[in-house]
Chains A and B, each alone.
Chain A
Amino acid sequence: MKARPPALDCVELVVNYGTFTAVDHVSIQVEEGEIFGLLGPNGAGKTSVIRALTTIVPAAGGTAMIGGSDLSDSVGVRSCIGVLPESNGYPGAQTARSYLRFHGRLFGLSQAEADQRADRLLAMLGLGDNYKRIATFSRGMRQRLGLCRALINNPVVLFLDEPTLGLDPAGQDEIMTHLARAAAERQTSVVLCSHLLDEVERVCDRVAIMDHGKIIADGTVDDVIAVSGVAGRGRLRVPLDDIGGAVSALQDSRAAKWLNFDNSRPGDIEIELSPDGGARRIILSRLLDAGIEPRSFDLQGARLSDAFLALTGSEREMVSR
């Protein structure tokens, strides 16, 4: 049986602004129903990738097929995508239903079809019983409405640029849950740009990290962490009197790359483990050899945020909840 083509197949995409190359030969494939995280520091080129793939800015090079339409067929591409831009505005005087009906009509739906889809989406995203003007909506409600608008044409690929920007943790969680649900129920492929790396790690099937217009790592979250070479961390608790001895025992060990005292919890030592296997065993045996019996030793695997920092060499962009 012939394999289904990816919902989004972008090869060697290039976007230039004058002489500046914002996107430098970027290739992305997203399968049907897959949630793909596009990460990177500000200015990395994520928004430019989205704008090129949504035909807002022209691609200077490369090819892309989206939902079976070539990027050069802008009307065909726009018929099968949904987009929630980073700085999305809303007409405050309209109601949510009339706003969605208008956008449905722009996608060629009849008035009745547009109304039906609007009602279904508004109910799905918890806005069904709201008949007030959009001007009265909270930021979270507006973002949910934006997601409804992006879904009004049942898109093959949904592009979301910072959909949770400015939302409180509950609002962020709500949007991400709706997003995951939409992808699962409708088999919609999602390209998600976000700085909320914990959320990306939770919902994305695969991620790519961009920096200076190029993709520097991609794959599953585990793949990216492995490529980054970052190790896991551990939290060791020893009797207060044994702190000095524990540090002496571990300082010259290859298993512990880095030690830190947690001043809020005396007796705790945070350890960055060496990526080499067996770090835990080496640390425990060193402590026991020194006659120190640890009270606890909790291990935590490396996170996407650690990989992001290691790969982009920057701490300025990471937001980890």
Chain B
Amino acid sequence: MTTKRSESSAGWWVIAKQELIDLWFSSKGLSVLLGFTLLLSALSYLASADAGINLLDARESVGVVVQVSIALGTLAALVVSADAISGERERGTLEALLVTPVARRNIVIGKLVAATSMWVAALVVALPFVAVMADGPGVASEAVLVLVVGGGLVAAALTALGLAVSSVSMSNRTSLAASVAILLLLAAPSQLPSIASNGTLGAVFVKANPVSSGLKLANNVLVRQQPWPDNWGFLISPLLAAIVLTAIAIALSDRLELGGAR
């Protein structure tokens, strides 16, 4: 008897589940997470030691750890999502997926869910570090909120970006290089001297950029002790970027191509 069924509505979940197994039951996800943990441990130790000898204010140390957690956690999720489609294409496993009745957008959604798990894992690792460090200066709740909300939106945006780039890249190397280059470009303004972002144009530029906006939010709330309501604006571009880039990644799924042979 032939299996004649319409598209399974749970197709995205079947994909996501398999991707999660592949990610977390292989060395890939765990090694990325181990690297993230080691870097965060070293940074937290250095930041705490600096705070101990007054090179860095305790709040500033918390700000640095939160910002680095956001940046590295986002990078980890980006690396996974940038491999999601182009990796299948390169390994020759994409065509077998495309000839199943699962809609292409559900393939992309499943992969997006799995890649987002990398950010969630990074968040789970970062939270204890941040909570312990922020307990001293009494900003634990603010730090956790910035990490979860601000970091979550930045990570969602960049994970979707990685997937979109992966959808159109014919090689994994191109996808990874392009995705990381975009992340670095977006993060670069946060390293500029504060005078550069103090003017009207500079402020608009920082707010329009989802990565620098998220990092600026952490700095304002945790280091400068500005109240949350004054800084809601810094969540707009990460939120918009997350929505728009996710929509783009899903829209590009309709144009998923094998590339190469005809």
Contacts and interface: CB of A to CB of B under 8 A. Distances in A.
Interface of A: 17, 22, 47-48, 51, 54-57, 67, 75-76, 78-81, 83, 85-91, 93-94, 102-103, 105-109, 149, 153-156
Contacts of A105: 8, 14
Contacts of B31: none
Most buried by B among A17, A54, A106, A154: A106
Given A54-B99, A79-B101, A107-B101, A86 B261 contact: yes
A107 B3 contact: yes
Interface stretch (B50-58, B87-95, B112-120): B87-95
B102 interface: yes
B260 to A, nearest CB: 9
Q: Which 8 A-B pairs have the closest CB atoms?
A: A89-B92, A108-B8, A106-B100, A153-B3, A108-B5, A89-B91, A83-B99, A89-B93
Contacts of B15: 106
Nearest to A17: B262
Given A47-B261, A87-B261, A89-B92, A80 B7 contact: no
Contacts of A87: 92, 95, 261
A258 B3 CA distance: 54
B7 A75 contact: yes
B98 A56 contact: yes
Nearest to B26: A93
B104 to A, nearest CB: 9
Given A67-B2, A75-B7, A108-B8, A91 B102 contact: no
Given A56-B98, A91-B91, 14 more contacts: A17-B262, A47-B261, A55-B99, A67-B2, A78-B99, A85-B95, A87-B95, A93-B22, A93-B26, A106-B15, A106-B100, A107-B8, A108-B3, A109-B3
9 contacts: A47-B261, A56-B95, A67-B4, A75-B7, A79-B101, A93-B22, A106-B101, A149-B96, A153-B2
Given A85-B95, A87-B92, A106-B11, A154 B3 contact: yes
B201 interface: no
Nearest to A16: B262
A108 B91 CA distance: 25
B99 to A, nearest CB: 4
